[in-house]
Structure 1
Amino acid sequence: MSEEIVDHIRNNSQAPVFFVCEHASSFIPECFNELGLVDPARSSHIAWDPGAEAVTRILADRFNAPAVINRISRLVYDCNRPPDAIDAVPQKSEIFEVPGNKNLSGAQITNRVENYYLPFKRTLEKAIEEHQVAPMLVTIHSFTPVYNGQKRDVEIGLLHDDDSRVVDAMLNSIAGYQEFNIRRNEPYGPSDGVTHTIRLHGVEKGLLNVMIEVRNDLLTCHKDCTSIADTLESLISAALGQLAKDKTTKAVVL
Protein backbone atom coordinates (compact mmCIF):
# COMPACT_ATOMS: atom_id res chain seq x y z
CA MET A 1 0.00 0.00 0.00
CA SER A 2 2.88 2.41 0.70
CA GLU A 3 3.77 2.40 -3.00
CA GLU A 4 0.24 3.54 -3.83
CA ILE A 5 0.00 6.38 -1.35
CA VAL A 6 3.59 7.65 -1.11
CA ASP A 7 5.77 8.86 -3.97
CA HIS A 8 9.53 8.70 -3.34
CA ILE A 9 11.37 10.42 -6.16
CA ARG A 10 15.09 10.47 -6.95
CA ASN A 11 15.87 7.98 -4.19
CA ASN A 12 19.47 7.52 -5.38
CA SER A 13 20.38 11.19 -5.04
CA GLN A 14 22.85 12.24 -2.38
CA ALA A 15 22.04 15.95 -2.50
CA PRO A 16 22.54 18.02 0.68
CA VAL A 17 18.80 18.70 0.88
CA PHE A 18 15.77 16.40 1.17
CA PHE A 19 12.21 17.55 0.40
CA VAL A 20 8.92 16.41 1.92
CA CYS A 21 5.34 17.28 0.98
CA GLU A 22 2.79 15.85 3.41
CA HIS A 23 -0.32 17.53 1.96
CA ALA A 24 0.24 17.20 -1.78
CA SER A 25 -3.09 15.66 -2.72
CA SER A 26 -6.82 16.03 -2.10
CA PHE A 27 -7.41 12.38 -3.06
CA ILE A 28 -9.85 10.51 -0.81
CA PRO A 29 -9.97 6.74 -1.44
CA GLU A 30 -13.31 5.45 -2.71
CA CYS A 31 -13.96 3.45 0.47
CA PHE A 32 -14.46 6.70 2.41
CA ASN A 33 -17.33 7.98 0.20
CA GLU A 34 -15.73 11.44 -0.04
CA LEU A 35 -15.97 11.61 3.79
CA GLY A 36 -19.46 12.99 3.24
CA LEU A 37 -18.08 16.19 1.69
CA VAL A 38 -19.19 18.05 -1.42
CA ASP A 39 -17.55 20.93 -3.23
CA PRO A 40 -16.35 23.54 -2.44
CA ALA A 41 -15.13 21.86 0.76
CA ARG A 42 -14.13 18.63 -1.02
CA SER A 43 -11.53 20.34 -3.22
CA SER A 44 -10.63 23.29 -0.98
CA HIS A 45 -7.50 23.91 1.05
CA ILE A 46 -8.91 21.90 3.96
CA ALA A 47 -8.26 18.73 1.93
CA TRP A 48 -4.72 19.57 0.72
CA ASP A 49 -2.09 22.27 0.21
CA PRO A 50 -2.68 23.69 -3.29
CA GLY A 51 0.58 24.32 -5.15
CA ALA A 52 2.78 22.60 -2.57
CA GLU A 53 3.51 19.53 -4.67
CA ALA A 54 4.41 21.60 -7.74
CA VAL A 55 6.86 23.69 -5.73
CA THR A 56 8.31 20.56 -4.10
CA ARG A 57 8.95 18.89 -7.45
CA ILE A 58 10.48 22.04 -8.96
CA LEU A 59 12.86 22.39 -6.02
CA ALA A 60 13.75 18.69 -6.03
CA ASP A 61 14.64 19.05 -9.71
CA ARG A 62 16.68 22.21 -9.09
CA PHE A 63 18.75 20.56 -6.35
CA ASN A 64 18.74 17.11 -7.99
CA ALA A 65 17.39 16.04 -4.62
CA PRO A 66 15.07 13.32 -3.31
CA ALA A 67 11.53 14.01 -2.18
CA VAL A 68 8.83 12.05 -0.37
CA ILE A 69 5.33 13.12 -1.41
CA ASN A 70 2.13 11.96 0.27
CA ARG A 71 -0.70 11.05 -2.13
CA ILE A 72 -3.69 11.00 0.27
CA SER A 73 -5.82 13.90 1.54
CA ARG A 74 -4.99 15.16 5.00
CA LEU A 75 -8.68 14.74 5.82
CA VAL A 76 -8.20 10.97 5.68
CA TYR A 77 -5.10 11.30 7.87
CA ASP A 78 -2.85 14.31 8.36
CA CYS A 79 0.65 12.91 8.01
CA ASN A 80 2.07 16.01 9.69
CA ARG A 81 0.40 14.94 12.94
CA PRO A 82 1.25 12.09 15.35
CA PRO A 83 -1.41 9.44 16.00
CA ASP A 84 -2.30 10.93 19.38
CA ALA A 85 -3.03 14.40 17.95
CA ILE A 86 -6.68 15.40 18.14
CA ASP A 87 -6.57 16.79 14.60
CA ALA A 88 -4.75 13.85 12.98
CA VAL A 89 -8.19 12.77 11.68
CA PRO A 90 -10.05 16.09 11.80
CA GLN A 91 -13.77 16.17 12.51
CA LYS A 92 -13.85 19.84 11.53
CA SER A 93 -11.48 21.97 9.48
CA GLU A 94 -11.93 25.74 9.63
CA ILE A 95 -15.67 26.28 8.95
CA PHE A 96 -16.26 22.86 7.38
CA GLU A 97 -17.57 19.82 9.22
CA VAL A 98 -16.15 16.46 8.04
CA PRO A 99 -19.03 13.98 8.45
CA GLY A 100 -16.98 10.92 7.57
CA ASN A 101 -14.58 11.60 10.45
CA LYS A 102 -17.21 11.88 13.18
CA ASN A 103 -17.87 9.23 15.83
CA LEU A 104 -15.05 6.99 14.65
CA SER A 105 -14.22 3.97 16.79
CA GLY A 106 -10.75 3.29 18.13
CA ALA A 107 -10.40 0.55 15.55
CA GLN A 108 -11.30 2.93 12.73
CA ILE A 109 -8.70 5.46 13.89
CA THR A 110 -6.12 2.70 14.18
CA ASN A 111 -6.95 1.65 10.62
CA ARG A 112 -6.23 5.17 9.37
CA VAL A 113 -2.93 5.24 11.28
CA GLU A 114 -1.80 1.84 10.01
CA ASN A 115 -2.87 2.32 6.39
CA TYR A 116 -1.99 5.98 5.78
CA TYR A 117 0.31 7.45 8.45
CA LEU A 118 2.70 4.56 9.08
CA PRO A 119 3.45 3.86 5.37
CA PHE A 120 4.34 7.53 4.92
CA LYS A 121 6.42 7.60 8.12
CA ARG A 122 8.28 4.41 7.25
CA THR A 123 8.97 5.50 3.68
CA LEU A 124 10.41 8.80 4.92
CA GLU A 125 12.47 7.14 7.66
CA LYS A 126 13.92 4.60 5.25
CA ALA A 127 14.67 7.24 2.61
CA ILE A 128 16.53 9.42 5.12
CA GLU A 129 18.43 6.45 6.56
CA GLU A 130 19.60 5.45 3.07
CA HIS A 131 20.79 8.98 2.28
CA GLN A 132 24.57 8.86 2.57
CA VAL A 133 24.92 12.48 3.65
CA ALA A 134 23.09 14.20 6.49
CA PRO A 135 20.60 16.29 4.49
CA MET A 136 18.75 19.47 5.33
CA LEU A 137 15.12 18.39 5.71
CA VAL A 138 12.74 20.83 3.98
CA THR A 139 8.97 20.37 4.15
CA ILE A 140 6.78 22.37 1.77
CA HIS A 141 3.25 23.56 2.59
CA SER A 142 0.76 26.20 1.51
CA PHE A 143 -1.87 28.15 3.46
CA THR A 144 -5.03 30.04 2.67
CA PRO A 145 -4.89 33.89 2.51
CA VAL A 146 -8.04 34.16 4.66
CA TYR A 147 -8.59 31.89 7.65
CA ASN A 148 -11.73 32.02 9.78
CA GLY A 149 -12.46 35.41 8.26
CA GLN A 150 -9.03 36.85 9.09
CA LYS A 151 -6.79 38.13 6.26
CA ARG A 152 -3.18 37.02 6.42
CA ASP A 153 -0.50 39.46 5.29
CA VAL A 154 2.42 37.04 5.56
CA GLU A 155 3.27 35.48 2.20
CA ILE A 156 6.04 33.03 3.09
CA GLY A 157 6.46 31.53 6.53
CA LEU A 158 9.71 29.94 7.70
CA LEU A 159 8.86 27.61 10.56
CA HIS A 160 11.05 25.86 13.09
CA ASP A 161 10.70 23.96 16.34
CA ASP A 162 13.58 23.77 18.85
CA ASP A 163 16.20 23.95 16.10
CA SER A 164 16.19 27.41 14.46
CA ARG A 165 19.51 27.17 12.61
CA VAL A 166 18.08 27.01 9.08
CA VAL A 167 15.48 29.72 9.64
CA ASP A 168 18.10 31.97 11.27
CA ALA A 169 20.39 31.53 8.27
CA MET A 170 17.56 32.14 5.80
CA LEU A 171 16.42 35.32 7.53
CA ASN A 172 20.00 36.56 7.79
CA SER A 173 20.31 36.17 4.02
CA ILE A 174 17.34 38.42 3.19
CA ALA A 175 18.15 41.65 5.03
CA GLY A 176 16.46 44.41 3.04
CA TYR A 177 14.56 41.88 0.89
CA GLN A 178 11.26 43.38 -0.35
CA GLU A 179 9.63 41.06 -2.92
CA PHE A 180 7.67 38.87 -0.48
CA ASN A 181 6.53 39.32 3.10
CA ILE A 182 8.60 36.60 4.83
CA ARG A 183 8.22 35.90 8.55
CA ARG A 184 9.39 33.46 11.21
CA ASN A 185 6.85 30.95 12.59
CA GLU A 186 3.87 32.50 10.80
CA PRO A 187 1.04 31.92 10.08
CA TYR A 188 1.65 28.90 12.33
CA GLY A 189 4.26 27.87 14.86
CA PRO A 190 5.19 24.98 17.15
CA SER A 191 2.36 25.79 19.56
CA ASP A 192 -0.12 25.01 16.75
CA GLY A 193 1.13 21.42 16.51
CA VAL A 194 2.33 21.78 12.92
CA THR A 195 6.00 20.82 13.34
CA HIS A 196 5.59 17.05 13.77
CA THR A 197 7.50 16.03 10.63
CA ILE A 198 10.47 18.33 11.10
CA ARG A 199 10.64 17.47 14.78
CA LEU A 200 10.41 13.67 14.39
CA HIS A 201 12.55 13.31 11.26
CA GLY A 202 14.74 16.39 11.64
CA VAL A 203 15.25 17.67 15.19
CA GLU A 204 15.28 14.24 16.83
CA LYS A 205 17.78 12.94 14.25
CA GLY A 206 20.04 15.97 14.53
CA LEU A 207 19.33 17.04 10.94
CA LEU A 208 19.05 20.62 9.78
CA ASN A 209 15.38 21.30 9.11
CA VAL A 210 12.79 23.89 8.11
CA MET A 211 9.08 23.90 7.35
CA ILE A 212 8.14 26.36 4.61
CA GLU A 213 4.60 27.73 4.25
CA VAL A 214 3.58 29.69 1.12
CA ARG A 215 0.28 31.59 0.81
CA ASN A 216 -1.66 29.67 -1.81
CA ASP A 217 -2.87 32.70 -3.79
CA LEU A 218 0.78 32.94 -4.88
CA LEU A 219 0.63 29.40 -6.31
CA THR A 220 -2.29 29.50 -8.73
CA CYS A 221 -0.40 28.39 -11.85
CA HIS A 222 2.90 26.81 -12.89
CA LYS A 223 4.45 30.24 -13.53
CA ASP A 224 3.58 31.32 -9.99
CA CYS A 225 4.97 28.10 -8.53
CA THR A 226 8.18 28.56 -10.48
CA SER A 227 8.53 32.15 -9.22
CA ILE A 228 8.08 31.03 -5.62
CA ALA A 229 10.51 28.16 -6.19
CA ASP A 230 13.09 30.71 -7.40
CA THR A 231 12.85 32.54 -4.08
CA LEU A 232 12.91 29.35 -2.01
CA GLU A 233 15.88 28.02 -3.97
CA SER A 234 17.79 31.18 -3.09
CA LEU A 235 16.84 30.90 0.59
CA ILE A 236 17.79 27.23 0.80
CA SER A 237 21.08 27.74 -1.07
CA ALA A 238 21.99 30.68 1.17
CA ALA A 239 21.25 28.65 4.29
CA LEU A 240 23.25 25.65 3.05
CA GLY A 241 26.20 27.91 2.26
CA GLN A 242 26.06 29.82 5.56
CA LEU A 243 25.67 26.73 7.72
CA ALA A 244 28.47 24.91 5.91
CA LYS A 245 30.70 27.94 6.45
CA ASP A 246 29.77 28.12 10.14
CA LYS A 247 30.53 24.42 10.56
CA THR A 248 33.93 24.82 8.90
CA THR A 249 34.73 27.88 11.04
CA LYS A 250 33.81 26.06 14.25
CA ALA A 251 35.93 23.08 13.23
CA VAL A 252 38.95 25.35 12.71
CA VAL A 253 38.41 27.06 16.09
CA LEU A 254 38.18 23.75 17.88
Structure 2
Amino acid sequence: MSAAEILEGGAQDVLLLCDHASNAVPADIDLGIDPALLDNHIAIDIGAAAVTRALAAKLDCPAILATVSRLVIDLHREPDHIGLIPHRSDGHLIPGNESVDKPARIARFHTPYHRVLRDQVRARRPRLILSIHSFTPCLEHGGTDRPWQVGVLYNRDTRAAHPTVKFFRDRGFVTGDNEPYSGRLLNATLNRHAEGQGRPSVAIEIRNDLIREDAGAREWADILADLAGHLLR
Protein backbone atom coordinates (compact mmCIF):
# COMPACT_ATOMS: atom_id res chain seq x y z
CA MET A 1 0.00 0.00 0.00
CA SER A 2 1.37 3.38 -1.02
CA ALA A 3 1.07 5.95 1.75
CA ALA A 4 -0.24 8.64 -0.60
CA GLU A 5 -2.53 8.93 -3.60
CA ILE A 6 -1.64 11.71 -6.03
CA LEU A 7 -4.28 13.32 -8.21
CA GLU A 8 -2.63 15.08 -11.12
CA GLY A 9 -3.94 18.42 -12.33
CA GLY A 10 -3.21 20.75 -15.17
CA ALA A 11 -3.20 23.95 -13.13
CA GLN A 12 -0.34 24.22 -10.66
CA ASP A 13 -1.16 27.36 -8.63
CA VAL A 14 -2.95 25.38 -5.92
CA LEU A 15 -2.01 22.12 -4.20
CA LEU A 16 -4.56 20.30 -2.03
CA LEU A 17 -3.63 18.04 0.88
CA CYS A 18 -5.89 15.63 2.76
CA ASP A 19 -4.08 13.94 5.65
CA HIS A 20 -7.10 12.05 7.00
CA ALA A 21 -8.72 11.00 3.73
CA SER A 22 -8.92 7.26 4.38
CA ASN A 23 -10.16 4.78 6.97
CA ALA A 24 -8.18 1.91 5.43
CA VAL A 25 -6.33 -0.50 7.71
CA PRO A 26 -3.83 -2.88 6.08
CA ALA A 27 -4.76 -6.55 6.37
CA ASP A 28 -1.68 -7.34 8.48
CA ILE A 29 -2.56 -4.73 11.14
CA ASP A 30 -5.11 -5.61 13.81
CA LEU A 31 -6.27 -2.57 15.77
CA GLY A 32 -8.44 -4.74 18.03
CA ILE A 33 -11.52 -2.53 17.61
CA ASP A 34 -15.10 -2.92 16.46
CA PRO A 35 -14.92 -2.46 12.65
CA ALA A 36 -17.87 -0.06 12.88
CA LEU A 37 -15.54 2.49 14.48
CA LEU A 38 -13.72 2.82 11.17
CA ASP A 39 -16.68 4.83 9.88
CA ASN A 40 -16.37 7.19 12.84
CA HIS A 41 -14.53 10.50 12.99
CA ILE A 42 -11.79 8.89 15.07
CA ALA A 43 -10.71 6.89 12.01
CA ILE A 44 -11.26 9.34 9.16
CA ASP A 45 -12.13 12.96 8.46
CA ILE A 46 -15.65 12.29 7.25
CA GLY A 47 -16.34 13.98 3.92
CA ALA A 48 -12.87 15.51 3.59
CA ALA A 49 -11.73 13.23 0.77
CA ALA A 50 -14.92 13.86 -1.20
CA VAL A 51 -14.46 17.62 -0.86
CA THR A 52 -10.81 17.34 -1.87
CA ARG A 53 -11.56 15.26 -4.96
CA ALA A 54 -14.39 17.53 -6.06
CA LEU A 55 -12.30 20.63 -5.48
CA ALA A 56 -9.32 19.20 -7.37
CA ALA A 57 -11.59 18.45 -10.31
CA LYS A 58 -13.17 21.90 -10.20
CA LEU A 59 -9.80 23.71 -10.06
CA ASP A 60 -8.00 21.18 -12.26
CA CYS A 61 -5.29 21.19 -9.62
CA PRO A 62 -3.21 18.43 -8.02
CA ALA A 63 -4.10 16.84 -4.69
CA ILE A 64 -2.39 14.43 -2.34
CA LEU A 65 -4.58 12.17 -0.21
CA ALA A 66 -3.43 9.85 2.57
CA THR A 67 -4.36 6.20 2.09
CA VAL A 68 -4.32 4.90 5.67
CA SER A 69 -6.51 5.55 8.70
CA ARG A 70 -5.23 7.86 11.40
CA LEU A 71 -5.91 5.01 13.84
CA VAL A 72 -3.01 3.20 12.18
CA ILE A 73 -0.82 6.31 12.27
CA ASP A 74 -1.76 9.96 12.32
CA LEU A 75 0.10 11.49 9.40
CA HIS A 76 -0.81 14.97 10.64
CA ARG A 77 1.41 14.61 13.72
CA GLU A 78 5.13 14.95 14.27
CA PRO A 79 6.96 11.61 14.66
CA ASP A 80 7.50 12.27 18.39
CA HIS A 81 3.90 13.37 19.09
CA ILE A 82 2.17 11.37 21.81
CA GLY A 83 -0.87 10.83 19.57
CA LEU A 84 1.04 9.64 16.51
CA ILE A 85 -0.10 6.03 17.00
CA PRO A 86 -3.13 6.42 19.26
CA HIS A 87 -3.84 4.06 22.14
CA ARG A 88 -7.14 5.82 22.79
CA SER A 89 -9.25 8.16 20.67
CA ASP A 90 -12.32 10.05 21.91
CA GLY A 91 -12.77 7.51 24.68
CA HIS A 92 -12.29 4.41 22.50
CA LEU A 93 -9.38 2.11 23.33
CA ILE A 94 -7.20 0.97 20.42
CA PRO A 95 -5.66 -2.14 22.00
CA GLY A 96 -3.82 -3.23 18.86
CA ASN A 97 -1.60 -0.18 19.15
CA GLU A 98 -0.39 -0.90 22.67
CA SER A 99 2.64 -2.97 21.67
CA VAL A 100 3.24 -1.66 18.15
CA ASP A 101 6.72 -1.37 16.65
CA LYS A 102 6.62 2.43 16.38
CA PRO A 103 9.77 2.93 14.25
CA ALA A 104 8.58 0.30 11.78
CA ARG A 105 5.16 1.90 11.41
CA ILE A 106 6.71 5.33 10.95
CA ALA A 107 9.03 3.94 8.28
CA ARG A 108 6.16 2.19 6.51
CA PHE A 109 3.65 5.06 6.39
CA HIS A 110 4.71 8.38 7.91
CA THR A 111 8.12 8.76 6.29
CA PRO A 112 7.02 7.92 2.72
CA TYR A 113 3.90 10.08 3.00
CA HIS A 114 5.87 13.12 4.01
CA ARG A 115 8.52 12.37 1.42
CA VAL A 116 5.81 12.55 -1.24
CA LEU A 117 4.54 15.86 0.14
CA ARG A 118 8.04 17.31 0.30
CA ASP A 119 8.89 16.26 -3.25
CA GLN A 120 5.57 17.42 -4.70
CA VAL A 121 5.80 20.86 -3.08
CA ARG A 122 9.39 21.30 -4.24
CA ALA A 123 8.56 20.20 -7.78
CA ARG A 124 5.31 22.13 -8.23
CA ARG A 125 6.06 25.24 -6.13
CA PRO A 126 2.35 26.06 -5.68
CA ARG A 127 1.30 29.60 -4.92
CA LEU A 128 -1.19 28.27 -2.37
CA ILE A 129 -1.56 25.06 -0.34
CA LEU A 130 -4.97 24.16 1.08
CA SER A 131 -5.19 21.36 3.64
CA ILE A 132 -8.70 19.92 3.86
CA HIS A 133 -10.03 18.42 7.10
CA SER A 134 -13.34 17.90 8.89
CA PHE A 135 -14.38 17.90 12.53
CA THR A 136 -17.21 16.27 14.43
CA PRO A 137 -20.04 18.53 15.74
CA CYS A 138 -19.46 17.14 19.24
CA LEU A 139 -16.93 14.75 20.70
CA GLU A 140 -18.46 11.60 22.16
CA HIS A 141 -16.66 11.81 25.51
CA GLY A 142 -16.53 15.08 27.39
CA GLY A 143 -17.28 17.20 24.36
CA THR A 144 -19.43 20.28 24.00
CA ASP A 145 -21.28 21.38 20.89
CA ARG A 146 -19.05 22.97 18.28
CA PRO A 147 -21.09 25.73 16.65
CA TRP A 148 -18.67 26.59 13.86
CA GLN A 149 -19.55 25.56 10.32
CA VAL A 150 -15.93 25.90 9.30
CA GLY A 151 -12.66 26.47 11.08
CA VAL A 152 -9.53 28.15 9.77
CA LEU A 153 -6.31 26.79 11.25
CA TYR A 154 -2.84 28.26 10.94
CA ASN A 155 0.39 28.80 12.80
CA ARG A 156 2.79 31.70 12.17
CA ASP A 157 2.11 32.31 8.49
CA THR A 158 -1.14 34.29 8.26
CA ARG A 159 -0.90 35.36 4.60
CA ALA A 160 -3.72 33.05 3.54
CA ALA A 161 -5.36 32.45 6.92
CA HIS A 162 -6.54 35.95 7.82
CA PRO A 163 -8.11 36.60 4.39
CA THR A 164 -9.76 33.16 4.63
CA VAL A 165 -11.41 33.96 7.96
CA LYS A 166 -12.73 37.20 6.47
CA PHE A 167 -13.91 35.41 3.30
CA PHE A 168 -16.05 32.95 5.28
CA ARG A 169 -17.42 35.51 7.73
CA ASP A 170 -18.30 37.94 4.95
CA ARG A 171 -20.43 35.14 3.45
CA GLY A 172 -22.25 34.53 6.70
CA PHE A 173 -20.56 31.31 7.82
CA VAL A 174 -20.04 30.71 11.53
CA THR A 175 -16.26 30.62 11.33
CA GLY A 176 -13.66 29.52 13.86
CA ASP A 177 -10.40 31.45 13.92
CA ASN A 178 -8.03 28.69 15.07
CA GLU A 179 -11.10 26.82 16.32
CA PRO A 180 -12.29 24.14 17.14
CA TYR A 181 -8.59 23.73 18.02
CA SER A 182 -5.53 25.80 17.42
CA GLY A 183 -3.26 25.49 14.42
CA ARG A 184 -0.53 26.88 16.63
CA LEU A 185 -0.58 23.49 18.38
CA LEU A 186 -1.74 21.12 15.62
CA ASN A 187 -0.32 22.19 12.26
CA ALA A 188 2.30 19.53 11.63
CA THR A 189 1.86 19.01 7.89
CA LEU A 190 1.68 22.68 6.94
CA ASN A 191 4.46 23.63 9.34
CA ARG A 192 6.73 21.22 7.54
CA HIS A 193 5.68 21.47 3.92
CA ALA A 194 4.17 24.94 3.57
CA GLU A 195 5.73 27.27 6.14
CA GLY A 196 8.92 25.21 5.96
CA GLN A 197 9.13 25.80 2.21
CA GLY A 198 7.80 29.37 2.18
CA ARG A 199 4.45 28.49 0.59
CA PRO A 200 1.31 30.39 1.70
CA SER A 201 -1.15 27.94 3.18
CA VAL A 202 -4.20 27.40 5.35
CA ALA A 203 -5.97 24.41 6.88
CA ILE A 204 -9.73 24.30 6.38
CA GLU A 205 -11.81 22.34 8.92
CA ILE A 206 -15.42 21.76 7.81
CA ARG A 207 -17.99 20.42 10.28
CA ASN A 208 -18.57 16.90 9.06
CA ASP A 209 -22.38 16.91 9.18
CA LEU A 210 -22.21 19.48 6.37
CA ILE A 211 -20.17 17.25 4.05
CA ARG A 212 -21.17 13.73 5.05
CA GLU A 213 -23.34 13.44 1.93
CA ASP A 214 -22.15 13.99 -1.64
CA ALA A 215 -24.34 17.07 -2.17
CA GLY A 216 -22.77 18.82 0.80
CA ALA A 217 -19.26 17.86 -0.31
CA ARG A 218 -19.92 19.32 -3.76
CA GLU A 219 -21.37 22.49 -2.24
CA TRP A 220 -18.29 23.02 -0.09
CA ALA A 221 -16.00 22.27 -3.03
CA ASP A 222 -17.71 25.14 -4.84
CA ILE A 223 -17.22 27.40 -1.82
CA LEU A 224 -13.55 26.48 -1.54
CA ALA A 225 -13.03 26.99 -5.27
CA ASP A 226 -14.27 30.55 -4.80
CA LEU A 227 -11.96 30.90 -1.80
CA ALA A 228 -8.94 29.69 -3.78
CA GLY A 229 -9.65 32.19 -6.55
CA HIS A 230 -10.07 34.95 -3.99
CA LEU A 231 -6.77 34.13 -2.30
CA LEU A 232 -4.84 33.87 -5.56
CA ARG A 233 -6.10 37.29 -6.59
TM-score, length basis structure 2: 0.94
Alignment correspondent of 1:59: 55
Counterpart among 24, 28, 33 of residue 31 in structure 1: 28
The structural deviation recorded for 1:69 is 0.6
Q: How does 1:1-254 map to 2 (within 5 A)?
A: 1=1, 4-10=2-8, 13-33=10-30, 35-104=31-100, 108-131=101-124, 133-147=125-139, 148=141, 149-174=143-168, 176-178=170-172, 180-191=173-184, 193-241=185-233
The structural deviation recorded for 1:171 is 2.7
Q: Which digits, 9 at most, give the CA deviation of each residue in 1:137-191, with x for residues without a partner?
A: 111001100113311101100111100110112233345422x312211111135
- The secondary structure found in structure 2 opposite 1:210 is strand
Q: For 1:28 and 1:5, how far apart are their aligned partners in 2?
A: 11
Q: For 2:52 and 2:183, how far apart are their aligned partners in 1?
A: 22
- The secondary structure found in structure 1 opposite 2:212 is coil
Q: Is the 8 A contact 1:173 1:239 kept in 2?
A: no
Letter matched to residue 70 of structure 2? R
Q: Is the 8 A contact 2:78 2:84 kept in 1?
A: yes
- The secondary structure found in structure 2 opposite 1:125 is helix
Aligned length: 231
Q: Is the 8 A contact 2:169 2:175 kept in 1?
A: no
Q: Is the 8 A contact 1:15 1:63 kept in 2?
A: no
Letter matched to residue 19 of structure 1? L
The structural deviation recorded for 1:14 is 4.3
Q: Which digits, 9 at most, give the CA deviation of each residue in 1:168-218, with x for residues without a partner?
A: 12233345422x312211111135x42001110001111001011001000
TM-score, length basis structure 1: 0.86
More displaced stretch, 73-82 vs 164-173: 164-173
The structural deviation recorded for 1:136 is 0.8
The structural deviation recorded for 1:220 is 1.9
In structure 1, stretches of 5+ residues that fail to align are 242-254
Q: Considering fraction of residues, name the structure with more helix.
A: 1
Q: Is the 8 A contact 2:16 2:63 kept in 1?
A: yes
Letter matched to residue 65 of structure 1? C
Q: For 1:43 and 1:239, how far apart are their aligned partners in 2?
A: 33
**Identity rate, percent:** 32
Q: Is the 8 A contact 2:127 2:232 kept in 1?
A: no
The structural deviation recorded for 1:37 is 0.6
User: In the superposition, relative to structure 1, how do residues 226 and 127 fare at CA in structure 2: closer, same or farther (>3 Å)?
Assistant: same
More displaced stretch, 140-149 vs 199-208: 140-149
In structure 2, stretches of 5+ residues that fail to align are none
Alignment correspondent of 1:250: none
Q: Is the 8 A contact 2:38 2:44 kept in 1?
A: no
Q: For 1:109 and 1:8, how far apart are their aligned partners in 2?
A: 26
The structural deviation recorded for 1:31 is 0.9
Letter matched to residue 74 of structure 1? R
The structural deviation recorded for 1:5 is 3.0
